[in-house]
C-alpha cells in the first residue's frame, strides 16, 4: 500500500474546507454563520481556531497528547531557541580562530559545544561568506531550517515566492531584501533537500575589532545567517 493512496478520498471526507491562506486574509470578506459568536477577523481564521482547539481536545481525550507537553514545546521556541543562539555561534567564530576552524570542519559538534543541538539541527554545516562568495540557504520542497540555532522559520522563508525564486534568481531575492552584492561576488545557493541543515557565517563587519563577543552578537541578524542579509554595521559613536 502506498502511503498516499486514498489521500484525496480521505481529504474529501473532511468538512469545513478553508481554502484561504492567512496571506489572503485581508482580501476575504468576513461572514458569519448563524449562531457563531461575533468575530473581528475573517471567518476562516476563526474556523482554524475552532478546528485546532477541537483537535487538541479530541486528541487529549484519546490520550495521544499531553496538553502540558504542548505548552512546553511552545515555550521552548518562544523563549529559549531562536536566532540569538546562532548569533552566539557567529560571534564566537568571529572572535576565536580555533572555534572558527572547528565550526567549518564539524559544525554539529562546534555548535553543540555552546549548548545548541537537537531537533532539525542534527547534522549541521556552516557556510562562510567571503568577499568572493556569498551563500544563501533555501528549502524549495518544504521548510527545512536549522531550528537549534535559528528557531522557527519566518513566513517568508516558507513562502512560495522565496522557495521558487531563490534557486532561479538569488540576486533578485537579495534585491527583495534590499541587499546588493558586488557583481564579482559569486552566489551559492544551498537547497536543504535532506536532513543536513545549513548556517551561514556572515562576514564580520569592518570597524569591529575592539568589540566583545557579546557586542558582536548584537550585529548578527537572522537573515545574515540564512544569507538573505548581511551582518549589521556597528553604530559609530562620534
* Residue in 32, 96, 105, 119 binding other proteins, rule: CB under 8 A: 119
Cell of 34: 448563524
Q: Find the catalytic residue in 43, 142, 192, 224.
A: 142
Burial class, 232, CB count within 10 angstroms (exposed 0-12 / middle 13-18 / buried 19+):
middle
Q: Find the catalytic residue in 43, 95, 117, 143.
A: 143
Under the binding rule (CB under 8 A), the answer on residue 34 touching other proteins is no
Site string for other proteins, 120-139 (x = CB under 8 A): xxxx-x------------x-
Closest approach, Cβ 129 to other proteins, in A, equals: 14
Q: Which residue, among 33, 30, 149, has the nearest Cα to 83 in the 3D structure?
A: 149
Under the binding rule (CB under 8 A), the answer on residue 158 touching other proteins is yes
CA–CA separation, 176 vs 147, rounded Å? 24
16 is in an annotated binding site: no
209 is in an annotated binding site: no
Under the binding rule (CB under 8 A), the answer on residue 109 touching other proteins is no
- Contacts of residue 227, defined as CB under 8 A and 6 or more positions apart, other chains included, come to 127, 129, 134, 135, 136, 137, 200
* Residue in 45, 104, 114, 179 binding other proteins, rule: CB under 8 A: 45
Closest approach, Cβ 237 to other proteins, in A, equals: 25
Query: Has 16 been annotated as catalytic?
Result: no
Q: Which stretch binds other proteins (CB under 8 A): 59-67, 96-104, 201-209, 210-218?
A: 59-67
Q: Find the catalytic residue in 139, 159, 209, 224.
A: 139
- Helices 43-62 and 67-75 cross at an angle (nearest 10°) of 120
Note the maximum CA span of the chain.
70
Cell of 124: 549541521
Under the binding rule (CB under 8 A), the answer on residue 208 touching other proteins is no
Closest approach, Cβ 113 to other proteins, in A, equals: 14
- In DSSP terms, 137 is beta-bridged to 190
Query: What torsion do the CA atoms of 17, 21, 27, 33 make, to the nearest 10 degrees?
Result: 30
Contact 62, 31 (CB under 8 A): no
Under the binding rule (CB under 8 A), the answer on residue 10 touching other proteins is yes
User: Looking only at residues 163 through 192 of this chain, which bind other proteins when binding is defined by CB under 8 A?
Assistant: 163-168, 170-173, 176-177, 183-192
Q: What size, in residues, is the chain?
A: 238
The annotated binding site is made up of 139, 142-144
The annotated binding site for Fe(3+) is made up of 139, 142-144
Residues identified as active-site: 139, 142-144
Amino acid at each position: 500500500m502506498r502511503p498516499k493512496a486514498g489521500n484525496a478520498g480521505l481529504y474529501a471526507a473532511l468538512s469545513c474546507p478553508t481554502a484561504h491562506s492567512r496571506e489572503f486574509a485581508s482580501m476575504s470578506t468576513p461572514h458569519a454563520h448563524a449562531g457563531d459568536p461575533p468575530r473581528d477577523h475573517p471567518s476562516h481564521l476563526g474556523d482554524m481556531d475552532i478546528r485546532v482547539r477541537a483537535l487538541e481536545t479530541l486528541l487529549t481525550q484519546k490520550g495521544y497528547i499531553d496538553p502540558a507537553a504542548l505548552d512546553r514545546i511552545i515555550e521552548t521556541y518562544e523563549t529559549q531557541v531562536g536566532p540569538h543562539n546562532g548569533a552566539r555561534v557567529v560571534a564566537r567564530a568571529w572572535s576565536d580562530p580555533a572555534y572558527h576552524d572547528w565550526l567549518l570542519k564539524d559544525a554539529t559538534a562546534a555548535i553543540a559545544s555552546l549548548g545548541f543541538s537537537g531537533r532539525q539541527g542534527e547534522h549541521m554545516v556552516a557556510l562562510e561568506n567571503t568577499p568572493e562568495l556569498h551563500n544563501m540557504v533555501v528549502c524549495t520542497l518544504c521548510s527545512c531550517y536549522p531550528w537549534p540555532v535559528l528557531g522557527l522559520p519566518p513566513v517568508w522563508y516558507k513562502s512560495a515566492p522565496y522557495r521558487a525564486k531563490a534557486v532561479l534568481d538569488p540576486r533578485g531575492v537579495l534585491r527583495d531584501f534590499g541587499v546588493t552584492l558586488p557583481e564579482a561576488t559569486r552566489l551559492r545557493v544551498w537547497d536543504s533537500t535532506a536532513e543536513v541543515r545549513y548556517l551561514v557565517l556572515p562576514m564580520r563587519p569592518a570597524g569591529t575589532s575592539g568589540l566583545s563577543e557579546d557586542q558582536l552578537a548584537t550585529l548578527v541578524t537572522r537573515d545574515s545567517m540564512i544569507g538573505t542579509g548581511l551582518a549589521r554595521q556597528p553604530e559609530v559613536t562620534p
